[in-house]
């Protein structure tokens, strides 16, 4: 199981390192051909040669995450688990590959019989964005953990639910509740608009990457809405308000208002929702997103809302539109920031895992302090 997972993930790593943000600025020395040559050695199970090649490539470019993970895997297949862990640990700070590294580390600790360390690494893999729960549970490399009660307590995927609306239409959504949820407690709440075409797949991706177990661990309630084509028309407005009302009736929502976030195709939906219902939201986060299809003059509705915008420096069209959005919001006196991530394209790997929720938690704390006059 792990070898099949590894082949796919290593190729993904190579693409990430050479074309995406955080790593592209660091991956100017090791070429695609050299990485593919390394992959070929791994495919042929030439473990010693792969380790030697990794050592040579790391002299050219120390810290290359693809090379380090290839080295880690070769050591793993040789049964040298401590060396495998040592190499993989050097990649866990790379936002776009951290979940892969932690998964491999968990494999190695399982083989060493170190259950505590293995479960800790699995937890970090999930919080970093790992979402192949079926593959994890079926991975034979984790058999040494199966007799541990914690194996049956591992988190799984969130259920996509259907809700019938007042007009008998329906929407799909996923609901995330905090770990150790207490119905008598008050919690911050987020409405998430996922990327993509409004289908279930991107919604599951958004849960794995940002708003699933990461939010539950941080103590947030999250409703991720599967974005149908109607979010930006009157029917979508009505459905959104109906969902907000239901969530507020069911849970104690901090401050009586929500936070809202949208990514890529979900960005315009989030902007539209915030403009139409500014009294319902503490903040708006776009990663990336801008008011596509909305008159920019309507952005004045967000003047009292905190807006946080993130875009890749190489995402040229989106960066230009988000710069325009940022400047417009500034003219209205909005508390707005625009973070341009150097080297990144459309999908912001630097925000994957707990990073986004950490930023949203900091924004929430700032909002609370301002509202209390601190």
Indicate if 117 and 176 belong to the same structural domain.
no
Q: Is the pLDDT of residue 76 over 80?
A: yes
Domain stops at, among 101, 130, 153: 153
Q: Do 149 and 167 fall into the same domain? A: no
We report the CATH number of the domain holding residue 25 as 1.25.40.10
Claim to verify: residue 219 and residue 281 sit in the same structural domain: yes
* Mean pLDDT across 68-78: 93
Q: Count of domains in the chain? A: 2
The 3 state secondary structure assigned to 35-98 is HHHHHHHHHCCCHHHHHHHHHHHHHHCCCCHHHHHHHHHHHHHCCCHHHHHHHHHCCCCCCCCH
Would you say residue 37 has pLDDT above 80? yes
Are both 173 and 268 inside the same structural domain? yes
Predicted confidence (pLDDT) at residue 14 exceeds the cutoff of 60 = no
Show the tokens assigned to 133: 């729960």
Look up the pTM and report it. 0.79
Per the listing, tokens 């139409």 go with: 276
Q: What pLDDT is attached to residue 232?
A: 67
Please give the Cα distance from 286 to 303 (Å, whole number).
16
Phi, psi of 306 (to 5 degrees): -80, 130
Question: What is the crossing angle of helices 266-276 and 234-250, to 10°?
Answer: 80
How many CB atoms are located within 10 Å of the residue 367 CB?
Answer: 20
The predicted structure's pLDDT at residue 82: 97
* Residue 138: CB atoms within 10 Å: 10
pLDDT in tens, 198-255: 678 888 888 888 999 999 999 999 999 886 555 667 778 888 999 999 999 999 999 9
Q: Please, what's the largest Cα pairwise distance for the chain?
A: 65
pLDDT mean across residues, the chain: 86
pLDDT tens digits for range 143-179: 999 999 999 888 888 888 888 888 888 888 999 999 9
Q: How confident is the model at residue 106 (pLDDT cuts 50, 70, 90)?
A: very high
What pLDDT shows up at residue 1? 43
Looking at the structure, tell me whether residues 10 and 147 fall in a common domain.
yes
User: Among all chains, which residue has been given the structure tokens 């400047």?
Assistant: 327
Mapped onto helix, strand or coil, the DSSP state of residue 134 is: helix
Residues 107 and 206 reside in one and the same domain:
no
CA-based radius of gyration for the chain: 22
Of 137, 153, 169, which residue is a domain's last? 153
Which span out of 32-41, 102-111, 346-355 was modeled with the highest average pLDDT?
102-111
Same domain for 326 and 265, yes or no, is yes
Let me know whether 254 and 237 are in one domain.
Answer: yes
Query: Among 77, 5, 2, 67, which residue's Cα sits nearest to residue 39?
Result: 67
> Is the per-residue pLDDT at 318 higher than 90?
yes
Residues 310 and 228 occupy one common structural domain: yes
Query: What is the enclosing helix (H) or strand (E) of 161?
Result: strand 160-164
Whether residue 275 sits in one domain with residue 324: yes
The alpha carbon dihedral of 302, 304, 305, 310 has a sign of: positive
Percent of the chain with pLDDT over 90: 55
**How many percent of the chain have pLDDT more than 70?**
90
Q: Is the pLDDT of residue 122 over 80?
A: yes
Instruction: Give the residue carrying structure tokens 């849960």.
Output: 207
Identify the domain containing residue 272 by its residue range. 160-371
Over 60: is that where the pLDDT of 4 sits?
no
Q: Which residues of 222-244 are buried (b: 16+ CB within 10 A; e: fewer)?
A: bbbbbbbebbbeeebbebbebbb
Domain at 182, CATH number: 3.40.50.1820
Q: Do 169 and 318 reside in the same domain of the chain?
A: yes
Is 120 in the same domain as 169? Answer: no
Instruction: Give the end of a domain, one of 123, 153, 183.
Output: 153
Backbone angles phi, psi at 303, to 5 degrees: -60, -25
Which of 88-102, 179-193, 313-327, 349-363 is predicted with the least confidence, judged by mean pLDDT?
A: 88-102
Residue 255 gets the label, from left (phi > 0), alpha (psi -120 to 50) or beta, of left
């Amino acid at each position: 199981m792990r070898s099949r997972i590894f082949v796919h993930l290593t190729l993904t790593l190579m693409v990430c390192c050479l074309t995406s943000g955080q790593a592209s600025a660091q991956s100017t020395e090791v070429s695609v051909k050299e990485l593919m040559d390394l992959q070929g050695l791994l495919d042929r199970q030439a473990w010693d040669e792969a380790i030697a090649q990794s050592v040579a490539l790391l002299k050219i470019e120390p810290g290359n995450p693809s090379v380090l993970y290839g080295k880690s895997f070769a050591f793993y297949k040789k049964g040298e688990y401590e060396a495998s862990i040592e190499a993989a640990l050097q990649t866990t700070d790379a936002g776009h590959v951290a979940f892969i590294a932690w998964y491999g580390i968990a494999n190695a600790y399982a083989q060493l019989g170190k259950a505590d360390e293995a479960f800790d690494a699995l937890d970090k893999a999930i919080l970093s964005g790992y979402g192949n729960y079926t593959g994890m549970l079926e991975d034979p490399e984790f058999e040494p953990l199966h007799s541990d009660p914690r194996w049956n307590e591992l988190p799984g995927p969130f259920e996509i639910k259907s809700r019938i609306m007042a007009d008998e239409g329906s929407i799909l959504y996923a609901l995330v509740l905090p770990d150790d949820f207490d119905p008598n407690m008050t919690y911050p709440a987020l409405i998430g608009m996922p990327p993509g075409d409004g289908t279930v797949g991107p919604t599951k991706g958004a849960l794995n990457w940002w708003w699933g177990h990461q939010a539950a661990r941080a103590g947030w309630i999250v409703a991720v809405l599967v974005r149908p084509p109607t979010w930006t028309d009157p029917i979508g407005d009505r459905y959104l308000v109906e969902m907000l009302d239901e969530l507020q009736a069911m849970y104690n929502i901090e401050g009586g208002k929500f936070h809202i976030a949208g990514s890529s195709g979900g960005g315009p939906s989030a902007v539209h929702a915030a403009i139409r219902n500014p009294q319902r939201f503490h903040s708006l986060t776009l990663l990336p997103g801008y008011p596509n299809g909305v008159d920019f003059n309507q952005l004045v509705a967000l003047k009292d809302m905190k807006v946080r915008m993130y875009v890749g420096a190489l995402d040229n069209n989106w960066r230009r539109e988000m710069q325009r959005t940022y400047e417009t919001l500034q003219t209205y006196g909005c508390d707005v920031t625009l973070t341009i991530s150097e080297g990144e394209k459309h999908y912001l790997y630097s925000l994957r895992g707990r990073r986004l929720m950490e930023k949203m938690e900091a924004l929430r704390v700032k909002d609370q302090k301002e509202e209390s006059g601190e």
